[in-house]
Structure 1
Amino acid sequence: MPLPDVLRSLLTATGPSGYETAPARAFAEACAPFADVSTDVMGSVTARVKGTGDGPTVAIVGHIDEIGLIVTHIDDKGYLYFIGVGGWDPVILVGQRVVLTTRDGEVRGVVGKKPIHLLKPDERRAAAEMKDMHIDIGAKDGDEAKALVRVGDVAVIDAEPLELPNDRFVARAMDNRLGCFVAYEAARLVAEAGGAAGDVVAVAAVQEEITFAGARTTAYSLRPDVVVVVDVTHATDAPGIDEKENGSHPFGSGPVIERGSTMHPRVFDELVAAAEAERIDHTLSASARFTGTDADAIHVARQGIPTGLISLPLRYMHSPVELVQLSDVLAGAQLIAAFAQRLTAETSFER
């Protein structure tokens, strides 16, 4: 199964938190043929498929931002220094190629650090830290570097999607362009089926990796009756992951339906019922105080919004080699589309 064109366009667009214009545009263009698309001042995108009746408005929310780097200083020799946008394991950055988004287009460079030959014994034993790294864009001096890049420009690792056997794909930004793709695909499936009883709105929310800002503002302005957040979780068939702590969510087991203190029980029940009715493979996960996703902000928006969470099993999260099985992703979209079509004007989320 090839990588869907829409997913490829989302994965190859660069957009760390606060700088999501390119992937947000790709999402809007993909949704335009079947939905009413709008963008707010934060940069979040909504794509509305009108309902056929008075059923509840369902929002399907994926976050469009990715982790990245932001330039904090350019020295006289032309080296760029940076901090992380979102959560990084710094050792991943050593030796990586990066692409910076600047006012004049893309600039490429590499992440450098002191070579191992020059490290003292205690330095060799220590994990690399971001403060000891720099980006080299090949500039001959600071003036040339500053003509190309400004403080505040952002970078992501320069890595194209890669196909592996068994319906598996590798890319940076799977977290969480996958969630946006599922939101797009679920809304497209609903539109293709003639609509649901209420409006179905696919959302690409900004800034999840830093503040949940896009989810907060969109939930406030959109006023949905029910929300399904789509994000990624750790595939538990990778080495070093304890199923007793993380549950069992191997590749090929389908989407993960969250149950827990902040998840609305009726939304959970309807998601499970939809999965069972459509014979969609799925697993369950449990959480208590928080989920670490946009659901944490959405469920307490305004007077409270009934919220569910679907997660997609992913290996090597927050790295340039995030790995997913495509069948799990497509099953997630089918599940949410079926969920939306089950709801009627009589559906109540009162407790």
Structure 2
Amino acid sequence: MPLPDVLRKLLTAAGPSGYETAPAAVFAEAGRAFTDDVEVDVMGSAVARVKGTTPGAPFLAVVGHIDEIGLIVTHVDDNGFLRFMGVGGWDPQILVGQRVELMTRNGVVAGVAGRKAIHLLKEEEREKVPKLRDLHIDIGARDGDEARELVRIGDVAVIAGEPLELRNDRVVSRSMDNRLGAFIALETARLIAEAGGAPGDVAAVGVVQEEITFGGARTSSYRLEPGLAIVVDVTHETGSPGVEVNEIGKHEFGSGPVIERGSILNPVIYELLHAAAERE
């Protein structure tokens, strides 16, 4: 099946942690298609709430985070190259040679993440995994002055590229973690609205800053005070080479959603989800 339009918009909206304005706007716009009760709070988290049919019934929040990992500029050197840190957790090997888009006050600036050419690396350097401090971003600037006119310290970047649809309904994309969970939260609320509502209120919540502080989830919990919450996030596909199923369990593509279970999770909600999964 083709990639849903709302999911595509979420995946392509640049929004590293702390800079989620674009994906929050997409989330809110999608929510307004099925409810008038839509808001974006002071933290930047977005909520689309569907009114319940039974007074006093529990209020359910379905939550997915809308931030993504990114890069933040820390220095512009005199040759025009940008140095940066990660926003969230990165595997630096993924970045080498990647095209990136920098979000600046004057719009998007294109660049490429790179490191010293392999031909120039000493033998011991070749055997080491690069760290973020070994990398730079080249935006094609002639020198530092030109680069500083285009980019400021604190500007953020994401990997550039459209979602890629593969065979068997599989999709590769930046920010799948966790715009997919945010999309599922929206779809849950939309389907409930189309069905005439649930007994209690149901809100799709797109929270910010999960990759760094969980700030959006914390503040939304206190502000909304749901009676129960279901958090939707991504996990590892265990059919991939090298994955140890003895450590994380077996859940391959096509096997359905994974229901998390553990000491910090509510056992009553788990049993309800498990029973629903068995019925379906």
| TM-score (ref. length: structure 1) | 0.78
What displacement does 1:128 show? 1.1
Aligned to 1:8: 8
Q: Aligned AA for 1:196?
A: A
What displacement does 1:141 show? 0.9
Mapped to 2, the partners of 1:33 and 1:174 lie a distance apart of: 22
**Overall identity of the aligned pairs, in %:** 67
Mapped to 2, the partners of 1:211 and 1:219 lie a distance apart of: 14
Mapped to 2, the partners of 1:94 and 1:100 lie a distance apart of: 16
Aligned to 2:41: 40
Runs of 4+ residues deviating >3 angstroms? none
Q: Does 1:196 align with 2:218?
A: no
Mapped to 2, the partners of 1:174 and 1:232 lie a distance apart of: 8
Correspondence 1:289-328 to 2 at 5 A: none
What displacement does 1:94 show? 0.5
What displacement does 1:234 show? 0.6
Aligned to 1:181: 183
Structure 1 SS opposite 2:79: coil
Correspondence 1:102-117 to 2 at 5 A: 102-117=104-119
Mapped to 2, the partners of 1:2 and 1:39 lie a distance apart of: 29
Aligned to 1:138: 140
The structure, 1 or 2, with the larger RCO (C-alpha pairs under 8 Å, 6+ apart) is 2
- Equivalent position to 1:123, from 122, 125, 134: 125
What displacement does 1:257 show? 0.6
What displacement does 1:143 show? 1.1
Correspondence 1:146-161 to 2 at 5 A: 146-161=148-163
What displacement does 1:272 show? 1.3
Correspondence 1:142-291 to 2 at 5 A: 142-277=144-279, 279=280
Aligned positions, number:
278
Aligned to 1:22: 22
Question: Unaligned stretches of 5+ in structure 2?
Answer: none
Mapped to 2, the partners of 1:86 and 1:174 lie a distance apart of: 14
Question: Which whole-Å deviations, capped at 9, do the CAs of 1:119-172 have from their partners, x for residues lacking one?
Answer: 111111111111111100001111111111100000001021011000111101
What displacement does 1:64 show? 0.2
Mapped to 2, the partners of 1:19 and 1:33 lie a distance apart of: 24
What displacement does 1:276 show? 2.1
| TM-score (ref. length: structure 2) | 0.98
Aligned to 1:330: none
Mapped to 2, the partners of 1:139 and 1:234 lie a distance apart of: 39
Question: Which whole-Å deviations, capped at 9, do the CAs of 1:48-82 have from their partners, x for residues lacking one?
Answer: 00001121100001000000000000011111000
Q: Aligned AA for 1:73?
A: H
Q: Aligned AA for 1:34?
A: F
Mapped to 1, the partners of 2:119 and 2:243 lie a distance apart of: 34
CA-based RMSD: 0.7
What displacement does 1:273 show? 1.6
Mapped to 1, the partners of 2:270 and 2:180 lie a distance apart of: 21
Mapped to 2, the partners of 1:177 and 1:33 lie a distance apart of: 18
Mapped to 2, the partners of 1:240 and 1:160 lie a distance apart of: 27
Structure 2 SS opposite 1:228: strand
Mapped to 1, the partners of 2:278 and 2:189 lie a distance apart of: 20
